[in-house]
Amino acid sequence: MYGDEAATAAATWPASAFDDESRQLDLSLGDSFSYSNFANRTTSTYVSKTDSAYIDISLDPCRFSHLVNPYERSSQPNSRPSSRSRPVTGCAPGSFNKRETLELPPRILGVSSGRNSPVTSCSSQAGSEINLPHVPLKPLPTPPHSRPSSLLRQADPPSLESASVPAPPQPSSSLSAPVSSQTPPSSPATKLHSKLSSPSSKTSLVPSEGEDLDSFHVRSIYAQLHATGVRGDGFEEGVERTRARNRVSRASELRAEAAVGCPSEKLRDLPPEEMLVLSSLDRYGFFAVTTHDRLVLLPSAPLQKRLSTVHAGPKTASAQAVSVNSLPPPSSPLKEAARISKWGRMLEVRSRDCGGNAESWGVKPSKAHKLRHRVYKGIPDRWRNAAWEILMNDFSRSGHEAIVRLKEYYYQELDKPSSYDIQIDLDVPRTISGHILFRTRYGLGQRWLFQVLHSFSLRCSQCGYVQGMGPIAATLLCYFEPERVYAALSRLHDAYSMHAIFSPGFPGLLEAIYVQERIMQSKMPDVYAAFKGHMISTTSYATKWYITLFANSVPFQTQLRLWDAFLLEGQDLFVAAAVAVVWVYRDHITSSSANFESVLSLLSSVFVPEDEDALLFWIEHFLGDKKLRKQMGNWRREWTQLVRSGKDRGVLL
């Protein structure tokens, strides 16, 4: 699995790794249960006569049995080889009678028994699997309480061998690894009962060579729960599992057991209290929750004047902006119905899947000249999925074939370990948790988000994972399936210069800030001087704007409008948005009563536009200035030269 036979023979997995309670390998459903010194029967060297070890984690109504040596398993009669297939996601009642087998790496002869021996690697042999009796799957209706119908779309996932077929795939319901080709000989049966079940015939999870056990614990929990689901997805908060592993109480175990999903959950009627909560969702799937961020009004009056050279306003102007008590509920644009019809006439289907469903779209050549202005007017939400795909295809000069190829990479990366898994798991539950898709711990949205960020963290060794990727991926998950989100992130990374934004040292961020400062210096010299006088660096307030693409700085509806234009224009869009914010508050910044704290607090707020159209039309005019766009390109090249010559120090505020 990991190399030649010599390398495999040298691989070891010492029993002491499991004796040491501080390094317990917990492959369970978090705090439902844990392995408790399960190798305590060995006093010296552990010698196994089997090529691999199995733990039966199939569904069983009985309580957890006493844990004995998991490296013993009774022989399975009537077992025969079967091909390995990727699990599907729709759970049927009959599928819960299948047996799930978790494979652990084989023990190697002559393992040291020292308690402090390091875990060096593990190995496994690829081969056939246990072929269990076929159980027919019955489709189940989508639980209406778990997601808004406009947000989530699922289909059966393809195997890697057939990934080139242009059918909409579905995320893998488990992380898989090659399994042993031999069945262990007869021995006393050891069964670890859990509430894990899957439509697949087998779930095989093994730590990869050199993988941190805590990281593997996180990865395996998400894989297992993706097979079962969790109760109350979108309604309940859920139960924490990956951060509570050792010496948990029985009450905690029972809560974790009760939180695992089951088929009856999808067939039940929604109780009145759940219906009441779900009825409070806004049109984008957000709950009405109180925000702790400072909200300030972004007035539209300053946006009536186009960008030009201006001087400081009255010194007696207030340094404080108008505060907003709460985010206004998003409303449907007045002309949305007419725009939906216009977009329907402007777009056309370019390809269909084997079932006849549209899988790629394009703009009719006769309507192409209207695309830019209609994007700034606002893409109708029901067309946003198709429109974003078109804009990314055009900007990256790629097509549906590139998306299919990136989907294959997504599934391949799911099977690999990532050193960022623990940090990703920490960030997942605090990423737009006010949205129904991401509310429940280990719910569908959180599992998708973890899988996307896990795979994407392996795409670029230089970028890896940074926290700003979470809000971007979560927003995309509101409109795309996980594999398409991975494809979108990849194109943002490659074509939209997000690689430079996320790379160590954030070189793309510094370049954008340099361009922003040059625009402020040339168009708003008094504002630039005020920043310099108050010793306020642009990085202190604008970093999160560029890292998260304004995801945490404006209401969700405004963020979508900015992203519409971003996918059309590219990286200059957010420079224009940053300049627009400073432009609106220029009189507050140059006020005689302004100081370091007031200016920084103002620019660190969440901006609630008084008129979104005024903001977007101001940006449209800004980026429509060809002379200014050319100058922005010159400033970018100028910054690159400064960095190369080592003269970039002290250039930024």
Residue 50 per-residue DSSP state: S
Give the torsion through C-alpha atoms of 376, 379, 385, 391, to 10 deg.
Answer: -30
pLDDT given at position 644: 94
Residue 437 per-residue DSSP state: G
Domain boundaries 299-305+505-645, CATH class:
mainly alpha
Domain with CATH 1.10.472.80 in the chain: 299-305+505-645
Domain with CATH 1.10.8.270 in the chain: 398-494
Regarding beta strands 606-609 and 295-298, do their DSSP bridges make them parallel or antiparallel, or are they unpaired?
Answer: parallel
For the domain spanning 398-494, the CATH number is 1.10.8.270
Mean pLDDT of 273-281: 86
- Cβ distance 229 to 294 under 8 Å? no
Is the per-residue pLDDT at 95 higher than 50?
no
pLDDT given at position 599: 96
Radius of gyration of the chain (CA): 28
Query: What's the pTM value of the predicted model, to 2 decimals?
Result: 0.70
């990479």: which residue's tokens?
409
Decide which of 117 and 525 is more confident. 525
- Cβ distance 96 to 263 under 8 Å? yes
pLDDT given at position 253: 73
- The H or E element spanning position 352 is strand 347-352
- Cβ distance 486 to 452 under 8 Å? yes
pLDDT given at position 486: 98
Q: What DSSP letter does each residue of 187-247 carry, written as one string?
A: ----B--BS---SSS-----PPTT--HHHHHHHHHHHHHHHH-BTTTTTS-----TT--SS
162 SS3 class: helix
Burial class, 223, CB count within 10 angstroms (exposed 0-12 / middle 13-18 / buried 19+): buried
pLDDT given at position 47: 37
- Residues facing 260 on adjacent strands: 230
- Cβ distance 403 to 392 under 8 Å? no
pLDDT tens-digit profile of 521-551? 999 999 999 999 999 999 999 999 999 999 9
CA 16 to chain centre: 36
Task: Give the span between the Cα atoms of 500 and 507, in whole angstroms.
Answer: 6
């007017």: which residue's tokens?
377
Tokens, residue 142:
């989508």
Q: Which of 128-132, 276-280, 455-459 has the lowest mean pLDDT?
A: 128-132
